[in-house]
Amino acid sequence: MLSFTYPYLLIYVALALYILSLATFQFSEQKRGALILLFMGCFALGLYVCSLSKFLYFWDESFHALVAKNMMTNPLKPMLRLESVMPNSYKEWTQCTLWLHKQPLFMWQMAISMKLFGVNEVAVRIPSLTMVAMLVFPIYRMGKISLNERVGYYAAFLFSLSYFVHELATGFQPTDHDDIAFLFYVTCSIWAFMEYEKTGKLKWVLLIGIFVGCAILVKWIMGLLIYGGWGISILMDKEKRKIGKNYLDAFLSLLMTALVVLPWQIYTWIKYPIESWYEYHYAKTHFTEGLDGHTGNVWFHFFGFKEIYGHGDVFPYLMIVAFVLLLIRLKNQSHRIVFTFSVLAVYIFYTIANTKMTPYCLIVCSIFYIALGSLIDQLFNLINSKLPKGNIAAKLIPFLALSALGYSDINYKRIYKNHVNSPENKDTYTYQVTKDTRVIKDLPNKLGATDYQLFNVKKYEHLAIMFYTGISAYETLPDEQTVAKFKSQGIKMAFNNDGKLPAYILNDTTILKLKMDAEE
C-alpha cells in the first residue's frame, strides 16, 4: 500500500525539479532533458497534493473509487454495491447496485492502479496525476508545431503548475478523475491531429481515432471534438477538399473510434438493457435541465476562467486577448481552424447546456495555455530586442519571470488550507472528514467483523465505509417490520447511534448500536 509519512518532502523535490527544468531550458540546449525534468516535477507536485488528503472526498470521488474497487474483481460489471438488503432503484445513481452512470475507462484505470498499489486514496488518484504529468509532452509538441519550442515549453510549464488541474486530480473538485481523463484524451486527439498534419503518416490517423474513442469512453459526445475541426479544415482548403485521401484518412480514424467505443455500448445494451438505456436518457438531461443544482447564466463559463486559470478578475479578458493574438500569429490555416473551432464549440455547447460546472470547458485548456505561452514569448522577444545581442539578461529575465509566475500558479496557501490537516484548519472540510475517516477505518475493530449491515450513517459516508472496510452501509433506517425480517433471516445489523434512533431499535438489546462521531 502507498503511504507517505512525510508528503511535504515531495513539494521540495517538485520545486527543485521545476527550477532545474526551467534552468536547463533557458541556459542549455538540452530541451528534451528540460521536458523530462518538467514531467518529473509535475508528477512530484501532483503526488504531494494527492498524498495530503488521507480520505476520499464524499462527493464524486467516493462513487468513482468504490465502483473502481468493485471493478477489480469484475471489470465488466460496474457495481456501486456488490449486494443490498435494502430496496434500491437503478434510477437513483447515488444508491443503486449496478452503476452505469459514467462511461468506464477512467474507472478501469483506477482499478488497475489499486491492483498495483493497494486499495487506498493515493492509488485512486495515481492515474489522474500521471495523466496530468504526461500532458506536458503533447502540450509542448502542440506549441512547438504551431509556433516554436519556447511557446511549447512555456505552455507546458504553466499547465503543469495549474492549481485547478492538480485539485481535480486529488478529487477535491467535482467531477474529478473523469474530467482529468477527458482532458487527457481530448488533448491527445488534438495533438495527434497536429502531428498528422505535419507528417501525413497513417499511425497518427489511427491514434486520433484511438484517443477520440478513449475520450468518448470517459465522457461522451464532446470527445468527438477534433473531427469537427478536422472536417472544416478540409472543406475550407480548396486543395485539400479535392484530394480523396483526406476523406479516407478521416473515415479510417472514425472507424478506429467506433472499434474502441462500440464494444462496451453493445455489451451494456445486451447485458443491462433497462439500466443502460435509462442512463443514456439521463445523460441527455444534462443539456436540458440544471441537474443537482449545477446551473448558471450565459456568463458562467466565461467567468470560470478565473477558477481554471487563476490570477483574478482581469484574467478572463487577458486569456481572450491572448487567444485572439495566437490566432493572428499562427501561420498554418488548419491549426487556426482547429483551435478556433475547438474553443468555440466547447464554450457554446456548454453555455447552451443547462447543467453547468466549471471543469466542463477544461478540455480546451491546452489551447489557452499555448495562447498564454505565445503571449509570453512575444513579450520576451520585445524585451530581448531592446537588449544588446548576447546579453545574459535575455535568458535571465525569462527564467526569473517564469519562476515567479509558476510559483503563483501553484497557489500553495490554498493547497495548505484545503488539504493540510492542521489544528489551524479546524473549520475546514479536510479537518472534519479526516477525523470521520479515522472512525470509518476503525469500524472492523469496533464491530469485530465485516459481515454487518450498517445503517443510519452520515450522508454519503456509506461510500467511504464500503470502500475502506467492505462493510455494507446505508444512510437510511429500516422500519420495524424490516428489522424483524432481517433478524429472522440471521442478517447481522449495526446502527450508528446519532441520538435519533427510534425506540424499536434503541430498546432491542440484540441489536448492536455504536457511536460514530469523531472525537477531538
pLDDT tens digits, residue range 458-476? 888 999 999 999 999 999 9
Question: Is residue 157 within a helix (H) or strand (E), and if so which, with residue range?
Answer: helix 149-160
Of the pLDDT bands very low, low, confident and very high (cuts 50, 70, 90), residue 2 is low
What is the rounded distance in angstroms from the CA atom of residue 309 to the CA atom of residue 301? 12
Whether residue 433 sits in one domain with residue 324: no
Sign of the torsion formed by the C-alpha atoms of 47, 53, 55 and 60: negative
Amino acid letter, residue 41: G
Residue 188 lies in a domain: yes
Find out whether 324 and 373 touch, Cβ atoms under 8 Å. no
In angstroms, rounded to a whole number, what is the distance separating the alpha carbons of residues 406 and 263?
43
Most confidently predicted of 163-177, 282-296, 373-387, 404-418: 373-387
Helices (H) and strands (E) in the chain, counts: 25, 4
Total domains in the chain come to 2
- For residue 494, the surrounding DSSP H or E stretch is strand 493-496
CA–CA distance, 363 with 439 (Å, rounded to integer) = 38
pLDDT at 459: 84
Both 269 and 374 in one domain: the answer is yes
430 prior amide bond cis, ω within 30: no
How far, CA to CA in Å, does 348 sit from each of 121, 179, 339, 499, 506? 36, 18, 14, 50, 56
Q: ∠355-358-360 over CA atoms, to 5°?
A: 70
Pairwise CA distance, residues 497 & 455, whole Å: 9
424 domain-assigned: no
Percentage of the chain beyond pLDDT 70 is 96
What does the pLDDT read at residue 519? Answer: 60
- For the chain, what is the mean pLDDT? 90
> Among positive and negative, which fits the CA dihedral 372, 375, 377, 383?
negative
Tell me whether strands 512-514 and 472-473 are parallel, antiparallel or unpaired. Answer: unpaired
pLDDT band at 16 (very low <50, low <70, confident <90, very high): very high
| pLDDT band, very low/low/confident/very high, at 425 (cuts 50, 70, 90) | low
Question: Does residue 1 register a pLDDT over 50?
Answer: no
The torsion region of residue 243 among left (phi > 0), alpha (psi -120 to 50) and beta comes to beta
Please tell me whether residues 299 and 443 are part of one structural domain: no
Over range 395-409, report the average pLDDT: 88
The pLDDT value recorded for residue 422 is 59
Distance CA 25, CA 149 (A): 10
Q: Are residues 400 and 465 in the same domain?
A: no
SS3 454: strand
The grid cell for 349 is 455547447
- Residue 519 located in a structural domain: no
Q: Do 312 and 437 sit in the same domain of this protein?
A: no
Last residue of a domain, one of 384, 418, 452: 418
CA-closest candidate to residue 50, choices 106, 128, 131, 117: 128
User: What average pLDDT does the segment 179-195 reach?
Assistant: 98
- C-alpha–C-alpha distance, residues 375 and 358, integer Å: 24
Helices 244-271 & 225-235, crossing angle to 10 degrees? Answer: 160
pLDDT of residue 342: 97
Is residue 495 within a helix (H) or strand (E), and if so which, with residue range?
A: strand 493-496
Lowest mean pLDDT among 40-49, 98-107, 298-307: 298-307
Residue in the structure block whose three cell numbers are 498564454? 372
Q: Which residue range(s) make up the domain with 474?
A: 429-514
- Verify that 392 and 490 share a domain, yes or no: no
Residues in the chain: 520
pLDDT band with cut points at 50, 70 and 90 for residue 496: very high
If asked whether residues 342 and 481 sit together in one domain, one would say: no
- CA-CA distance, 474 to 84, in Å (whole number)? 9
pLDDT for 411 beyond 80: no
Q: Do residues 308 and 457 both lie within one domain? A: no
Question: Got the DSSP string for 166-207?
Answer: HHHHHT-STTTHHHHHHHHHHHHHHHHHHHHHHH--HHHHHH
SS3 string of 40-53? Answer: HHHHHHHHHHHHHC
Cell of residue 238, nine digits: 480548396
Q: Tell me which of 418, 445, 466 is where a domain ends.
A: 418
Residues 374 and 470 in one domain: no
- The residue ranking higher by pLDDT, 163 or 115, is 115
CA 33 to the chain's CA centroid: 27
Domain assignment present for residue 3? The answer is no
Write down which residue in 418, 442, 477 finishes a domain.
418
Beta bridge partners of 455: 495
Calpha distance 401→376 (Å, rounded): 10
Give yes or no: residues 335 and 483 share one domain.
Answer: no
CA distance 67 to 70: 5
Report pLDDT digits (tens) over 130-162: 999 999 999 999 999 999 999 999 999 999 999
Q: Is residue 421 very low, low, confident or very high in pLDDT (cuts 50, 70, 90)?
A: low
d(CA 467, CA 475): 15
Of residues 419 and 130, which shows the higher confidence score? Answer: 130
**Which of 16-20, 100-104, 281-285 is least confident?**
281-285
CB 391 within 8 A of CB 408: no
Give the pLDDT band (50/70/90) at residue 317: confident
- CB within 8 A of 454, min separation 6: which ones? 443, 447, 462, 465, 471, 472, 473, 474, 493, 494, 495, 496
pLDDT at 301: 83
pLDDT over 50 (residue 180)? yes
Residues 333 and 453 in one domain: no
Same domain, 135 and 249: yes
